[in-house]
Amino acid sequence: MYNKLVRDRIPEIIEKDGKKPVISRIRDKKTLKEMLVSKLKEEVEEYCLSLELTELADILEVIRALVHNIHNIKFSDVEKLREEKERERGGFNEGIILEKVVDD
């Protein structure tokens, strides 16, 4: 028993393997949000264990689904927010570690 969110074509792939998938569809936004957040955690954990680029692609796909289905915006809108934050606060490219802040 899996009871987990899978990519849209997974049932078709299972059928091509000669097996019969038993599926249901999420009908409400609250459940979809919960399942997407759970899937995001799963994919992040898989990436942390493997450091495989394919896992980053899976993370991105879940994020795209959250952006589209939960936040009802375009992915480009999220990219604009990311760019704005990078301009204001920088990125994570220089490997800076904040060890402490000394109050004078």
Residues 6+ apart with CB under 8 A from 65: 36
Residue with tokens 């301009």: 87
Residue-level pLDDT at 2: 85
Predicted confidence (pLDDT) at residue 103 exceeds the cutoff of 90: yes
Structure tokens given for 59: 């993370």
Residue-level pLDDT at 25: 95
Helix runs in 20-89, H state only: 29-50, 53-65, 75-89
User: What is the spatial distance between Cα 7 and Cα 58, in angstroms, rounded to a whole number?
Assistant: 10
Name the percent of the chain lying above pLDDT 90: 96
| pLDDT tens-digit map of 17-57 | 999 999 999 999 999 999 999 999 999 999 999 999 999 99
Residue-level pLDDT at 60: 97
Predicted confidence (pLDDT) at residue 1 exceeds the cutoff of 90: no
- Cα torsion angle, 8, 12, 13, 14, sign: positive
Return the axis-axis angle of helices 29-50 and 53-65, rounded to nearest 10°.
170
User: What is the spatial distance between Cα 8 and Cα 95, in angstroms, rounded to a whole number?
Assistant: 37
- Is residue 20 left, alpha or beta, with left meaning phi > 0 and alpha meaning psi from -120 to 50? beta
Say whether pTM exceeds 0.85: yes
| pLDDT tens-digit map of 43-96 | 999 999 999 999 999 999 999 999 999 999 999 999 999 999 999 999 999 999
Predicted confidence (pLDDT) at residue 7 exceeds the cutoff of 90: yes
